[in-house]
Amino acid sequence: MQLEKLQAFVLSNSDYGESDRIVSLFTLEHGRLKGFARGARNSQKRFGPALEPFARINLQLNLKHGLSTLRGADVITLYTGIRGALGAIAHGLYACELVECLTPEGQPQPRLYRLLAAYLERLDSGQSEEPDRRMFEINVLNILGYRPSLEGCSRCGSPFDAHGALMQQGGELVCRFCAVTGRQIPPAILHCLKSCLATGRFGQVVIDEELLVAVAALLDESVATHCARKLKSLEFLRQTSRQGET
Ligand SMILES: [Zn+2]
């Protein structure tokens, strides 16, 4: 069987049996896949710290449908800046779990790969701010085709006017002629999210406190709609955010 050389992020890992590990990977070349790392728990020699969550690695594996076999892995970066701060760890784990939950298996997503790299680099530099997380989320949803319509009503197609939009269950945005109830989404929020999509860089869009609350509500709803399960890292993220407030 041919040995493939790939670049990847480790999204998560779990123990298997006495000495093995199953690793969820997001590769540049093949998108998300699962790898079987034989002996990874017993011997540090072959894999070292390369299979830790959000490590960026070069890896060698035999590609198979369902479960590939890892032959070796070398660390590109462990993002030690993230690992030294609880808030950054929580954001990093959340980013990886979001990618793991939303991306289909075996489909390359090079734009998403670059976005995850940029976000982890941002976290690694000591920034673990809420606006960056929201910027990451709207871009993830956009790349995967899940983002709510920001330009016009998702039902009748008319552009949003000065009244903005009404959010329906599942984060759908519609105009006031297509729905009579729903959370009011002012034009400022739509504009803010469009700016997050237009700029390719973290830290470029300023989101004030008031705007952030509304942006967060919209994105939480959209993310929850498209994730088939509740994200484990979300509770950890909430806990560390609360600690940061006190
Ligand atoms: Zn409409």
Q: Are residues 31 and 143 in the same domain?
A: no
Residue 46 lies in a domain: yes
Q: String of b and e for 84-109 (b: at least 16 CB within 10 Å)?
A: ebebbbbbbbbbbbbbbbbbeeeeeb
Q: Are residues 142 and 36 in the same domain?
A: no
Residue 115 lies in a domain: no
Q: Are residues 156 and 195 in the same domain?
A: yes
Q: How far is the CA of 193 from the centre of ligand 1 (A)?
A: 20
Question: Both tokens of residue 170?
Answer: 């599942």
Q: How far is the CA of 178 from the centre of ligand 1 (A)?
A: 4
Residue 121 lies in a domain: no
Helix, coil or strand: residue 11:
strand
Q: Are residues 49 and 142 in the same domain?
A: no
Q: Residue for token digits 């894999």?
A: 47
Q: How far is the CA of 168 from the centre of ligand 1 (A)?
A: 12
Q: How far is the CA of 27 from the centre of ligand 1 (A)?
A: 40
Q: Are residues 130 and 25 in the same domain?
A: no
One pLDDT digit (tens) per residue for the chain, 246 residues: 789 999 999 999 999 988 999 999 999 999 999 999 998 887 777 888 899 999 999 999 999 988 999 999 999 999 999 999 999 999 999 999 999 999 999 999 999 999 999 999 999 999 889 999 999 999 999 999 999 999 999 999 999 999 999 999 888 999 999 999 999 999 999 999 999 999 979 999 989 898 999 999 999 999 999 998 999 999 999 998 877 654
Distances (CA, A) of 185 to 75, 129, 132, 171: 44, 23, 20, 11
pLDDT at 246 (0 to 100):
46
Residue 200 belongs to domain spanning: 93-101+126-234
Distance CA 215, CA 228 (A): 22
Q: Are residues 47 and 166 in the same domain?
A: no
What is the count of structural domains for the chain?
Answer: 2
pTM of the model: 0.94
Distance CA 104, CA 246 (A): 39
Q: How far is the CA of 176 from the centre of ligand 1 (A)?
A: 7
Instruction: State the CATH number of the domain containing residue 166.
Output: 1.20.1440.120
Q: Are residues 135 and 227 in the same domain?
A: yes
Q: Are residues 45 and 97 in the same domain?
A: no
Distance CA 150, CA 160 (A): 8
Q: Are residues 97 and 198 in the same domain?
A: yes
Closest CA to 241 of 138, 132, 137: 132
pLDDT at 41 (0 to 100):
83
Q: How far is the CA of 41 from the centre of ligand 1 (A)?
A: 55
Q: How far is the CA of 13 from the centre of ligand 1 (A)?
A: 44
Adjacency order of strands within the sheet including 183-185: 173-174, 165-167, 183-185
Q: How far is the CA of 208 from the centre of ligand 1 (A)?
A: 29
Q: How far is the CA of 141 from the centre of ligand 1 (A)?
A: 22
Q: How far is the CA of 179 from the centre of ligand 1 (A)?
A: 7
DSSP H helices, 125-186, are 130-143
Q: How far is the CA of 157 from the centre of ligand 1 (A)?
A: 6
pLDDT at 242 (0 to 100):
78
Q: Are residues 71 and 164 in the same domain?
A: no
Closest CA to 100 of 4, 185, 193, 27: 27
Q: How far is the CA of 177 from the centre of ligand 1 (A)?
A: 5
